[in-house]
Structure 1
Amino acid sequence: MIYPFYTENDSLLHSLDPRVKIIGTAAGIAALMLYNDPAVLIPMFFLFLLVGRLLGGVGLGEQLRLLKPLLPIVVITLVVWPLIYEPRLKGLLFGVSFAMRLLTFALLTFLLLMTTSQRDLILGFVRLGMPYEFGLTISIALRYIPTLYLLSRNIMDAQRSRGWEVDRGNFIVRAKKMTAVLIPLLVASLKTAHELSIALESRALGASKKRTFLYDIEMSARDYAAVVLVLVLFGLAVYLRYALGIGHVSIYN
């Protein structure tokens, strides 16, 4: 099954049109790609944390908890960059940069999913000009992030109840023990994808090229103002990066 990820709330982000949030998420990810300086990326990460807390009503602890599964990748990034780039200190800084990019990408995605229902998300993509099938595919793909997370957590809890201990032994021993989670997770993922395909076929997805919607979305003046604000902030990020040269450190020098 696809686990629910959207949480009901009366926050400002929840009330915005899904197209605004999709554009804002895309602009935020694009802005992150402009910079590779930790002095810029770290404040941006905490800024988005505050946006989720103040505008989305999502607690800081909840946001950090969702990012917890990414910690192994973050650690690997921090370890690998100093090994492949000299001087080591600068390599560590680049490791921090790419780790913060990863965490912020995930944070923006989680905020979009937590403040937008799947129905509104698909409608948002469709109203932006994307074919319904593509919008549904993107929505399902985004929903698989929390689905796989919850599946892995349930599998790990089940294996611990059977005496599975992953905290003991060296790195190689722990990696071998993780097969007790990865194999059931792979099987569960394939089963979920199969059940999803059956559900879509049972609803005759794609039988008609023209779709109608029981529920529709409409932009308000506040939504247009939010889009303008997002575009202005993105333009400011581009100006700071290319006009003032802020936030970029050359890797190849």
Structure 2
Amino acid sequence: MDMFLYMDLKTGIHRLDPRTKLLLMFLTFTVGVISKNIIILSATLLLVLLHGAAAKILSNLKRIKVVLLMISLFSLVIWAIAGKGGGERFLIFSLNGLFYGCMTAIRTNLMILAGMVFLSTTKIEEISEGLVKIHLPYRGAFAFSTAIRLVPMIVATSYTIIQAQKSRGLDLDSGNILEKIRKYAPLMIPTLVSVIRGTNVFSMALESKGFGYSEKRTNYLDLKMTWKDLLASCIGIVVVAVVAYIRFDAAAFHSLVSTFPWADYSL
């Protein structure tokens, strides 16, 4: 069971500098935070999906389709009942709240998918080196990259322990939700023990290799920005600038969509 997200492919997106991909991810987050319009958020989501299609990693996004669906349904139901923005109601649901829930769902899924595309197209070593290149302290960059590496390892350890217990005859599938929780709870102990043991071995390996002995480090990776990185960065910055202008200049936005009065759900 492969728990890691990175897909080793030879695409133009994979060959971009990690600093460029990191910038594009944060620019996407910026659009999600500042924009309150369904059309803009949907268009940005479509761009992220096209970005993922160009990198040929859409199969990786299918792994979280249930999570994305649950987030969307939860957002739609909660905001439709809460009635954000007032307006007419149908039974216990508000039309304005439904649109606001749709906008919130798109915004949340946009950020998740942007992060998934970044992790699916960037090696952990490249992430660490890219963070160092933007003058983040090496210890911080190493801690961040290690956290990304350890999370799937912990999940894989839990999966292995569960499969081992099932092979020994432990029934984890029968019963209601409370019974399943009671059966899974004891499995946390061997998982924690395995994680603690692995962390201890990892710390000893770092100490034996002299981690932190010198501030000057040499790296195998040699990152260089190319014209493709500059072009991608400029396009991302221009898109965010346009979104920010539309967001903070309501007159410009309403003039832009004046022929589509249904388009503005900025509640």
Give the TM-score normalised by structure 2: 0.74
Query: What's the secondary structure of 1:8's corresponding residue?
Result: coil
Query: What's the secondary structure of 2:14's corresponding residue?
Result: helix
Aligned with 2:228 (options 204, 222, 225): 222
Cα separation, partners in 2 of 1:69 and 1:97, compared to 1, 3 Å: same
- Partners of 2:71 and 2:189 in 1: how far apart? 19
Cα separation, partners in 2 of 1:195 and 1:39, compared to 1, 3 Å: farther
Alignment gaps of 5+ in structure 1: none
Aligned with 1:101 (options 107, 118, 128): 107
- Partners of 1:174 and 1:234 in 2: how far apart? 46
Aligned with 1:65 (options 40, 63, 66): 63
Letter in 1 for 2:35: Y
- Partners of 1:194 and 1:97 in 2: how far apart? 45
Deviations 1:71-127 (A, max 9, x none): 555554444444545563344444443333333222222221221112221111111
Q: Are residues 1:118 and 2:117 paired?
A: no
Cross-structure match for 1:51: 51
Q: Is the 8 A contact 1:37 1:94 kept in 2?
A: no
Aligned pairs (5 A) from 1:50-199: 50-54=50-54, 56-58=55-57, 60-69=58-67, 75-85=73-83, 88-89=93-94, 90-155=96-161, 157-158=163-164, 161=167, 162-165=170-173, 169=176, 179=185, 186-199=192-205
Q: Are residues 1:249 and 2:249 paired?
A: no
Alignment gaps of 5+ in structure 2: 255-262
Q: Is the 8 A contact 2:132 2:141 kept in 1?
A: yes
Q: Is the 8 A contact 1:35 1:247 kept in 2?
A: no
Structure 1 or 2, whichever has the larger Rg, is 2
Deviations 1:196-241 (A, max 9, x none): 3333323222111222223321112222222212211221221222
Paired-residue identity, %? 26
Letter in 1 for 2:266: V
- Partners of 1:92 and 1:157 in 2: how far apart? 42
Cross-structure match for 2:215: 209
